Structure 1
Amino acid sequence: MLNVYFTVDVEIWCGSWQDIDSKFPRAFKQYIYGHTPDGDFGLPYKLKVLNDHGLKGVFFVEPMFSCRFGRGPLEEIVNLIKEANQAIELHLHTEWVDEAKQPIFPSVAQKRQFMRYFNLDEQTRLIALGKQWLLESGVEKIRAFRAGSFGFNVETLNALIANDIAIDSSYNASFMGTESNFMPGTVVTEAVRYQNVYELPMTVYFDRPGHLRHTQLCACSYKEMESLLWKALEQGRKNFTILSHNFELLHRSFERPDKIVIKRFMQLCEFLDKNKDCFKTCDYGDYQGAVFDKQPTPLLSPLWRTGQRMLEQLWSKYA
């Protein structure tokens, strides 16, 4: 049995950092509800599809925007996910720090894009605030964390320990993971323990010689993900982590649905539903603490599948 973590980073952006107070109401509706003339394809849609197939997801909710716009929108997001009986965990994008109406760090007046740009005390404070805001918005327990854009470092793990959060999912070997100073010299591909924290990394694979790619709904074809899931199971791996976002079913213009990615999402859900005897969709409450003493090498996908995906991605721009 392979544990599959279908993780969704839930976040909001206003397109730019100029005039964000007037832009936010529209951005919230776009990013969370995904309204288009053809229907709504945002967070509620994704929750419904998962539930229709009896699947679990993990929703990493970014609460930092509420330091600018108040708790109401955050509570609305939390309630949507809670009503769907899906798991909520903590996600932080530190670009919001200097936008707070009441300064979090008076000395921070410019953008610091990644958690790793903050020292241990600052990271501990940021995680504490994010956890507090989610709990005050109705989340019962925070078990796991993911740094925005995977920009964590070892100090992030120490900050999680200080905040009694036992699981991190910030390591991405294809994007800044090897720069985190976590297990230097090792490509982390499976669960590992660091003091009192378990690192459950993004699942990555070679899509061409020497090039790692992480498994993300909008960045991998369905055939790639299906093949990689079977390979992971055959190789005796325990965990498979997939990334998505609340807005990924929308075309990049936000004016229409992305039919290719929606089809991909439906196919993946149907596959996981059909093969529940092999693949168990999990939240972090299911994690039993199993770790790998020796890290498996990244999975490998044939080059012809990469070519198929590139054609599919090109088609999606115009479909």
Structure 2
Amino acid sequence: MTRAIISFDTELSAGLYQRGADARANFESSILGRCRDGDYGVHFQMDMLERFDLTGVYFVDPMPALVYGPEIIDAIVAPIVRRGHEVQLHIHTEWLAFARFNPVGRLTGRNIGDFPLAAQKKLVALARDILVGAGAPRPTAFRAGNFGANDDTLRALAALGFRHDSSFNGAYQGRGCDITLDAGNLGMRDHQGICEVPVSGLMDRASRFRPAQLCAMSEEEMRDALDHSAASGAIQFSAFSHSFELLSRDRQVPNRLAITRMEALCRAVADDARVTSGGFATLPAPPARPRRIQVAAPKPLRTLRRIVEQGVGYLAHEVRYLRDLIYVTVNSSRWGKIAGGVLLAVA
């Protein structure tokens, strides 16, 4: 059986903090997914998962506790644990730039992979302790913010007793993800003393990997990627989203396209007899000689259908964001004013 791991990077926004958002406003936007039409964050996601009798994995980032205090992490963790979904560890090291206490002195960086091994151990250990202090079971799996991990990250995790990492995303290779694995192999395998569970996906062009993310894949692509994993005998199919991903980019309205995609993914997992739902806590270990799981080949018409769907969805759900972008374009240059005027006329 293939284990379908539907995970959510559950995080407050450092960008909102920089723009002056207090703890409550950041929590409501980033965690509750609150907009004028209601809440579309973690509670909405759990409601949908439970409607299909599925279990989700929430990779919770405890680093904002260094800025807002630990109570805000308690508020994130408690309902997830209470409803029986899995809490694992996530880290966005961007928060160190604003922290009242920096456990690694003056070191800062966008990704945990930007830090030396000893500092990575300190950061992971601190984040783990904050998460456990918030009421989560001791985490056994980790995902780096921005997928920005390297081999030292895996060494740090192994030294601290973690069993799984899910920071390897082929779409981020060369863009922060510096784990030295073959992006053409989606199979679980041991690396640097820990079991790496790559983000699943498929090739949408001959040389471009498309990750199994709600905002990145069409329903068709997600179903095809799931089917490919199950048909290939993969131990896992790993799809991911964010706690705020069911909102429009400006977070003012729900993104109906993303919501429809999540529902379709849940239904596909629930209806496939080859697939089970769950997290990392009971994930089988890879065999001593793990099987290579080749990435599914591209299908040009499928890619074209998704591009069209994304374009229509963008116009339907991101008009306000588009108008803001046009405003910047109009005021940036003479040619921008001309182009922007044309865009405004049709937007």
Bin for the TM-score computed over the shorter chain: over 0.9
**RMSD, matched Cα:** 1.9
* Contact persistence 1:228–1:301 (CA under 8 A): no
Residue 195 of structure 1, CA deviation: 4.9
Q: Does residue 15 of the first structure (1) align with residue 12 of the second (2)?
A: no
For 2:34 and 2:181, how far apart are their aligned partners in 1? 44
Distance in 2 of aligned mates of 1:273 and 1:12: 30
CA distance in 1, matches of 2:90, 2:178: 20
Q: 1:318 aligns with which of 315, 320, 326?
A: 315
Cα distance in 2 for partners of 1:293, 1:118 equals 30
Contact 1:167-1:198 within 8 A present in 2 as well: yes
Residues 2-81 of structure 1 mapped to structure 2, 5 A cutoff: 2-15=2-15, 18=18, 20=20, 22-81=21-80
Map 1:173-212 onto structure 2 (within 5 A): 173-176=170-173, 182-183=179-180, 187-212=184-209
Question: 1:299 maps to which residue?
Answer: 296
Query: Which has the higher mean CA deviation after the structures are superposed, 292-301 or 75-84?
Result: 292-301
SS in 2 for 1:15: helix
Among residues 116, 120, 124, which one is paired with 2:117 in the alignment? 120
The alpha-carbon deviation at position 257 of structure 1 amounts to 0.3
* Partner of residue 281, structure 2: 285
**1:70-102 Cα distance to aligned partner (Å, 9 max, x none):** 011100000121122100000001111121112
Q: Does the aligned pair in 2 maintain the 1:151–1:176 contact within 8 Å? A: no
Instruction: Give the count of matched residue pairs.
Output: 315
Distance 1:61 1:175 in 2: 20
Task: Please list every run of 5 or more consecutive structure 1 residues that lacks an aligned counterpart in the other structure.
Answer: none
Selected match of 1:138 from 125, 135, 140: 135
Report the secondary structure of 1:140's partner residue: coil
Cα separation, 2, equivalents of 1:311 and 1:33? 30
Instruction: Give, in whole Å, the separation in 2 of the partners of 1:48 and 1:83.
Output: 13
> Any unmatched runs of 5+ in structure 2?
317-347
| Deviation larger for 175-184 or 60-69 | 175-184
Following superposition, the deviation at residue 169 of structure 1 comes to 0.5
Aligned-partner Cα distance in 2 for 1:18–1:225: 35
TM-score (norm 1): 0.93
Q: Provide closer, same or farther for how the CA distance between residues 19 and 184 of structure 1 changes in structure 2, counting only shifts above 3 A.
A: closer
- The CA distance in 1 between the partners of 2:253 and 2:305, in whole Å, is 24
Q: CA deviation at 1:237?
A: 1.9
CA contact (8 A) 2:57 2:85 kept: yes
Q: If the length of structure 2 is used for normalisation, what is the TM-score?
A: 0.86
TM-aligned CA distance change 1:177 to 1:60, over 3 Å? farther
Deviation at 1:184, TM superposition (A): 5.4
Give the SS at the match of 1:33.
coil
* Cα-to-partner distance string for 1:120-157 (whole Å, 9 max, x where unaligned): 00000000001000000001221100011111111101
Q: 1:72 to 1:17 in 2, by over 3 A?
A: closer
Deviates more, 1:222-231 or 1:120-129: 222-231
Higher helix fraction (1 or 2): 2
- More RCO (CA 8 Å, sep 6+): 1
CA distance in 1, matches of 2:189, 2:175: 15
* CA shift digits 1:40-80 (9 cap, x unpaired): 11111001110121101111001101111001110000012
The amino acid that maps onto 1:279 is V
